[in-house]
Amino acid sequence: MNAPRPTAARPVSPKFFRYLAGPALLLLPLLLAGCGQGQQQQQAKAPPPPAVTVAKPVQKTVTDYDEYVGRFAAVNSVEVRARVSGYLEAVDFKDGQMVKKGDLLFTIDKRTFKNALDQAQATLTQAKSNLAYANANLQRGQSLVKESTITQQIFEQRVQAERNAQASVNSAEAEVRQAKLNLEFTELRAPIDGRIGARQVSPGNLVTGGTSGNTTLLATIVSTDPVYFEFTFDEASYLRYKRMGSASDDIASQRDSVPVSLKLMDEKTFDHEGRMDFVNNVIDKGTGTILGRAVFKNTHNLFTPGMFARVRVPTSAPHEALLVPDTAIGSQQTQKYVLVVNDKDVATPRTVTLGQLEGKLRVIDSGLKPDDKVIVNGLARVRPGQKVTPKWQAPAPTKGTPAASAKPATPVKSN
């Protein structure tokens, strides 16, 4: 069979294009009108500039400082140990109570020591009797030797006997004094004012006393007022303190005149005032730090030896500084910035160098001027370069005035 012959395509007539172009030209003005109306609606619905709160930096006199962590330590700490051995008879305190110097703490059985004292006194009486006889015999010998009734050798023997009797009296008197001391040592009294710990021995136990290292520990007393606070700081800080001034007014040599402040772990502010008391004379080779110590009053016994706390040490003289709320500071990688509203109500970023925290305000070491209008509230709603609607921060109510009486915030007038 023969294949069908393909038919050739018919050419499109120009009238067909004119037929299609007519309706398109009629719809073009309608489409353009619709686009313009949509743009106008979008412009009409654009949100207003965000409202933010601005304030000028606070000018305040501040002192730069360093913070360190340390522990409290007792000014005096005494281990109560017996000086004589014997059975413990009584405990005359409650564990953990405050004691005064001279208060009775422990009592050791006194009977043995009373007997020793009586024996020493009897020995002394006998020695004095022998001395009296030797003195009388010597006096008779002095007259007899002059008359040659006795020989010189017999007289010298009487002199020797008198000296031996005197030495026996001296020895007996020393034994009496020691016996009295031992009897006194049976009552252990507080050597210092402070707080006593728990008793280590109960009544009825044998207590080993003396001056050797094998004596029995009965209790420990630590003084409470004043109290030391010990901390360490590194070599770089030590050099900075040395170079703060001349060699006569640095923290090491003039430590008694350097005020420091302290806060406990459950406190938010450094309200406890003290003074530097001691700086060590060597830097530890292993850690590269040096020991510092401050002394604080502890009238209410709030500080306990071994307790942790934070201390502030001044590193500069008082100087004027600018401060802004810590919440007004933003971060961009490693840089810190604040947004400042210019004369055209545009938020402009300003890179700043931060200092220490003073309550809720942050010290700005550089990057701000006293007349800058810093955004302190609404920072998250603003982008750098965006136009804003600034309002001044409402003034804080004065003491005794209710907050409701404060004037409402007024917008900043742009030039």
Q: Are 335 and 351 in contact (CB under 8 A)?
A: yes
Write out pLDDT tens, residues 104-141: 999 999 999 999 999 999 999 998 888 888 888 777 77
pLDDT score of 14 more than 50 = yes
Q: Are 362 and 355 in contact (CB under 8 A)?
A: yes
- At residue 410 the predicted structure's pLDDT band, cuts being 50, 70 and 90, is very low
- Phi then psi dihedrals of residue 130, to 5 deg: -65, -35
Distances (CA, A) of 314 to 72, 117, 304, 311: 20, 61, 24, 10
Three-state SS letters, 348-373: EEEEEEEEEEECCEEEEEECCCCCCC
Q: Is 82 exposed, middle or buried (0-12, 13-18, 19+ CB in 10 A)?
A: buried
Q: Are 176 and 124 in contact (CB under 8 A)?
A: yes
399 or 115: which leads in pLDDT: 115
User: 79, 108, 105: which is closest to 91 by C-alpha?
Assistant: 105
What is the reported pLDDT for 404? Answer: 40
Is the domain covering 227-314 a CATH 2.40.30.170 domain?
Answer: yes
Domain boundaries of the chain, sorted by first residue: 52-62+319-396, 110-185, 227-314
Q: Is 62 exposed, middle or buried (0-12, 13-18, 19+ CB in 10 A)?
A: middle
pLDDT score of 90 more than 80 = yes
- At residue 62 the predicted structure's pLDDT band, cuts being 50, 70 and 90, is confident
Is the domain covering 110-185 a CATH 2.130.10.10 domain?
Answer: no
pLDDT score of 415 more than 50 = no
Selection from 143-157, 171-185, 321-335, 392-406 with the highest mean pLDDT: 171-185
Residue length, the chain?
415
Cα separation, 182 vs 256, whole angstroms: 43
* Average predicted confidence (pLDDT) for the chain: 80
Structure tokens that stand for 267 in this block: 């406190």
Token match 């353009």: residue?
32
134 or 191: which leads in pLDDT: 191
Strands (DSSP E) along 151-257, which ranges? Answer: 187-189, 194-196, 206-207, 217-222, 227-234
DSSP states of 369-415: -TT--EEEE-GGG--TT-B-EEEEPPPPPPTTS-GGGSPPP-BPPP-
Which helix (H) or strand (E) segment is 139 a member of? helix 111-146
Q: Cα dihedral angle (179, 181, 187, 190), rounded to 10 degrees?
A: -170
Quick one: CATH architecture of 52-62+319-396?
A: Beta Barrel (2.40)
The CA-based angle 343-346-352, given to 5 degrees, is: 95
Write out pLDDT tens, residues 316-362: 778 888 888 888 888 888 888 888 888 888 888 888 888 888 878 88
**Up-side HSE of residue 271: CA atoms within 13 Å toward CB?**
7
What is the reported pLDDT for 173? Answer: 92
10 Å Cβ neighbour count for 105? 20
How big is the chain by its Cα radius of gyration, in Å?
A: 47
Q: Are 180 and 66 in contact (CB under 8 A)?
A: no
Structure tokens that stand for 226 in this block: 């004043």
CA 411 to chain centre: 45
